[in-house]
A and B are shown apart, each in its own frame.
Chain A
Amino acid sequence: MKKSSLTVLVLLLVLSLGLAGCKSNSEGASGDKDKGGGVMIYGRGGDAVGLDPAHETDGESFIVTEQVFETLTGYKKENTDVIPELAKSWKIADDGKKYTFTLEKGIKFQDGTDFNADAVVKNFERWMNGDAAKFPYYASMFGGYKNDPGHVIKEVKALDETTVEFTLKRPQAPFLKNLAMSPFAISSPAAIDKYGDKYGEHPVGTGPFKFKEWKRGDTVSVVKNDKYWKKGLPKLDGVTFKVIKDNSARLNALTKGEVDLIDGVNPSDIDKIKSDKNLQIFERPSMNVAYFGFNTEKAPFNKKEVRQAISHLVNKDDLIKNFYNGTAEPAATPLPSSIAGQNKDVKDYAYDEAKAKELLKKAGYPNGFKMDLWAMPVSRPYMPNGQKIAEAIQANLEKVGIKANIVTFEWGTYLEKLRKGESPAFLIGWTGDNGDADNFLYTLLDKETIDSNNYSRYKSEPVHKLLIEAQSTADEAKREELYKKAQEIIHEDAPWVPLVHAKPQLAGVNTIKGFYPHPKGSQSFVDVSMSK
């Protein structure tokens, strides 16, 4: 016993020397590793939830599924205009209720089965026979499931091998944009049958990369699809998505060369990245809006003058400088510039305390009032720090005698209470789904979406008329006009103070070529390359 304890001690000492030895051995070795033949490592803050796109709602899942899957229609690289993808062309009937798609010929899924009209029909039938627990996004975009009265799609039919016909119950103007969304990517029906409940761990699509491996909480890797239907693509041999939760640690890993591209860059780190000649910044065009909303049913915010007065008291440039480090643009209307229909002629309420006082007097509150201001408890790309922004607004309101008391709740509760209209005034935001103006204006400000996402409970007949007309108009130019008019009324009524459209920042090594972050938040790496 005596001897053995000493032996243990000596062993431990030897081990510790061994560890120290490893430390010095590693010098230089871990520095410049071979780039492994063009596998790009993408560092991000969270893991995917699942890899069956129809099942998921979170961006971290879609970043991966975008590589494996494709949709019938697609988006242009820099905005949300619709372009052909798996469908090479389409015809829309004059009444807007029939869409006939001609599919690309000869495409195969990664499991070797054929992509054809039948596969498309099977995918849609799978979704419309599901429910909110299985395919949550489907109901949000297509109005419900098979037997729901709101369900837009009446029938999906395969006319022949490469022709699919969609019959709608009523026209849906954003239909083509909806089809381009990540959750409505086309899966291999054979693979769905084969894997059943486990399909979310074995995704099979037609995309440029095949799913390889998923180490939960750590990495997801996809490799080049050698039989990809677009000639000469993809350029990369593969992409590995690596979870590094902390923003600073993720940047450290990029600086060290362990990862090639990262998202979720802290605005305060941007100068540091710009000064590093090995790195470059990518800016994602904004498809979001952060706003300061009022409950238009609650006094004193039921008075337009009060809402306008407060609109004059928010200094958006200061907010952008202090809390976004310049990576956002001031919002004059709810729509960001990446979305067709943004009204650039709307002139924002200028910061003006005298004007605000005058308006308050007119509304009958010459000495201000007391109010609760709700601040978001979580960080979102459109609002990195709700608490701080609330404090900045609070300070400005104080100047005209409005005493704001900052309130917050747990995130789930926060959303629930907003939906029920329990908050008088609140900070919140929105990230677009399909890149259509309808998805902002109707979803957030129509009288029909009260009790849902119209947290302001804003009710305006003229706006409602315009939005409904826009929903059933197929002509894009005409729709834009309607949305522009709606934005003018909304600006005048001021149910919100639109704060900013934030532009999320990514950083990568400067050998990355051909990467354009898409406004919707994820994109395929099909034509990205990394030169050595």
Chain B
Amino acid sequence: MFSYTMRRVGLLIPVLLGMTFIVFMMIRAIPGNPAQLILGQQASKDAIETLTKQLGLDQPWYTQFVHYLGGLFQGDLGMSLKTRSPISDEIWPYLAATIELSLVAILIAVIVGVNAGIISAWFQNSWFDYAVMLIALIGVSMPIFWLGLMEQYFVSIKWDLLPTTGRDNIRMPVEAITHLYLIDTLMEGRFDQFIEVVKHLILPGIALGTIPMAIIARMTRSSMLEVMRSDYIRTARAKGLKMFWVVYKHSLKNAMIPVVTVIGLQTGLLLGGAILTETIFGWPGIGTYIYDAIQSRDYPVIQSGILVVATLFVLINLFVDILYAAIDPRIKY
């Protein structure tokens, strides 16, 4: 187990290096000069040339790449071209906002998705099964921005249940410590603010969680159906065990392996793919950070932002692989 983990961690390095290189080349292939975009329409030619030089963008790409890589090995993520601040200072609040939102989204997706999948499989071909599969199909194909705006319109404005945007009540802002507001508010003992933060998480959480929820539901259903046809399930039922225990105890465990894989992949995707939800819900997350950087060709932010997200993605998948062994003792590394 330990040697397996170490081997996997070792493999991360070439994967991330390769990815850094690909991203580096790709963003330089898109047209657009960061200096022009930073200085805007009023900028003179001289100003653009001066800034290009100062930012080191007049150097050949390999010099820039080696320079960037050199910084990375010293733990330096580089400087933002636009704000001229170190990225390592800037990135954590954005990342924290995204992690908090993604965890809530995946939590909602897992609770609803797994249960819906199980019950669909249990009562296969019933009205419930059809309804779940239909909703799952709609869920997968629904445009997130539309869902988000509808949530705001009905839940927030019409029914006045939840706030429309942001991470906290702007009139009663949270003092950031870790930037994970659920934790910060509890550390400060502000339970009223904690409730506010939870309320702010629900709508974007649902918007972001809908697609993974649908995918998880479908995966759970098909995986459960397969397991429930196996001999040991028939044995369990034959010995007179209640159906509930057969399903939730005996079947689920074996059916979980592919589901856990999907959950891991989806969690990783959420980290980088929350841009639409973030835009609609005024959520200052990492997707917005990278998207803005792409707009202004802020190369170091794009590179380091993607690197951080990719690292998290790979780590989550490693964690999932290790989890297999915990779920199914027959799997040994």
Contact = CB atoms under 8 A, between A and B. Distances in A.
B70 interface: no
B289 to A, nearest CB: 6
Given A49-B82, A242-B282, A249-B149, A132 B39 contact: yes
A5 B162 CA distance: 33
Contacts of B172: 33, 36
A132 B51 contact: yes
Contact of B280 (A1, A201, A246): A246
Contact of B284 (A41, A218, A248): A218
Nearest to A34: B171
A245 B288 contact: yes
Given A15-B107, A412-B33, A416-B33, A221 B173 contact: yes
Please indicate which of the listed interface residues B153, B166, B170, B285 has the most CB atoms of chain A within 10 Å of its own CB.
B170
B142 interface: no
Nearest to A13: B111
A252 B164 contact: yes
A515 B110 CA distance: 48
B54 interface: yes
A471 B120 CA distance: 79
A243 interface: yes
B50 A132 contact: yes
Interface in B71-104: 82-85, 90, 93-94, 97
B302 interface: no
A413 B284 contact: no
Given A23-B161, A26-B199, A140-B42, A410 B284 contact: no
Given A33-B171, A41-B171, A453 B42 contact: yes
A219 B174 CA distance: 11
Contacts of B297: 412
Nearest to B245: A6
B93 A216 contact: yes
A477 interface: no
Contacts of A140: 42-44, 47
B125 interface: no
Contacts of B171: 33-36, 39, 41
A478 interface: no
B45 interface: yes
B94 A217 contact: yes
B160 A252 contact: no
B186 interface: no
Contacts of B278: 245
Interface stretch (A106-114, A254-262, A497-505): A254-262
Contacts of B329: 1
Interface in B160-217: 160-167, 169-173, 176, 195-196, 198-199, 202
Given A19-B202, A35-B171, A133-B54, A252 B156 contact: yes
Contacts of A131: 50, 54
The secondary-structure label for the interface of chain A is: mixed
A369 interface: no
Interface stretch (B231-239, B246-254, B313-321): B246-254
A452 B170 CA distance: 43
A136 B39 contact: yes
Interface residues of A, number: 75
B207 to A, nearest CB: 11
Contacts of A43: 282
Given A23-B202, A26-B199, A255-B157, A33 B169 contact: yes
A50 B285 CA distance: 19
Nearest to A37: B171
A273 B156 CA distance: 17
B166 A242 contact: yes
Interface string A39-59: 101010010011000000110
Contacts of A6: 248-249
Contact of B282 (A16, A31, A244, A452): A244
Interface in A404-438: 409-413, 415-416, 419, 430, 433
Nearest to B50: A132
Given A6-B248, A30-B163, A258-B165, A215 B93 contact: yes
B31 A409 contact: yes
Nearest to B145: A246
Interface string A217-239: 11101000000000000000000
Contact of A252 (B152, B176, B196): B152
A216 B86 CA distance: 13
Contacts of B288: 217, 245
B37 interface: yes
B10 interface: no
Contacts of A219: 170, 173
B284 to A, nearest CB: 4
Interface in B276-292: 278-282, 284-285, 288-289, 292
A92 interface: no
A242 B90 CA distance: 18
A43 B248 CA distance: 48
A451 interface: yes
Contacts of A451: 45
A452 B43 CA distance: 8
Contacts of A19: 108, 198, 202
A433 B176 CA distance: 37
B284 A216 contact: yes
B267 interface: no
B31 A412 contact: yes
Nearest to A10: B248
Contact of B199 (A30, A136, A246, A416): A30
A106 B110 CA distance: 64
Contact of B44 (A5, A16, A452): A452
Contacts of B165: 242, 244, 249-250, 252-253, 258
Contacts of B199: 22-23, 26, 30
Interface of B: 30-34, 36-48, 50-51, 54-55, 82-85, 90, 93-94, 97, 107-108, 110-112, 115, 145, 148-149, 152-153, 156-157, 160-167, 169-173, 176, 195-196, 198-199, 202, 248-249, 252-253, 278-282, 284-285, 288-289, 292, 297, 329
9 contacts: A28-B160, A30-B160, A33-B169, A216-B83, A217-B288, A217-B289, A242-B170, A411-B32, A415-B36
Interface of A: 1-2, 5-6, 9, 12-13, 15-16, 19, 22-23, 25-28, 30-31, 33-36, 39, 41, 43, 46, 49-50, 57-58, 131-133, 136-137, 139-140, 197, 200-201, 213, 215-219, 221, 240, 242-246, 248-250, 252-253, 255-256, 258-259, 409-413, 415-416, 419, 430, 433, 451-453
Given A57-B43, A253-B164, A409-B31, 8 more contacts: A49-B83, A132-B39, A132-B50, A132-B51, A218-B93, A244-B282, A258-B166, A258-B170
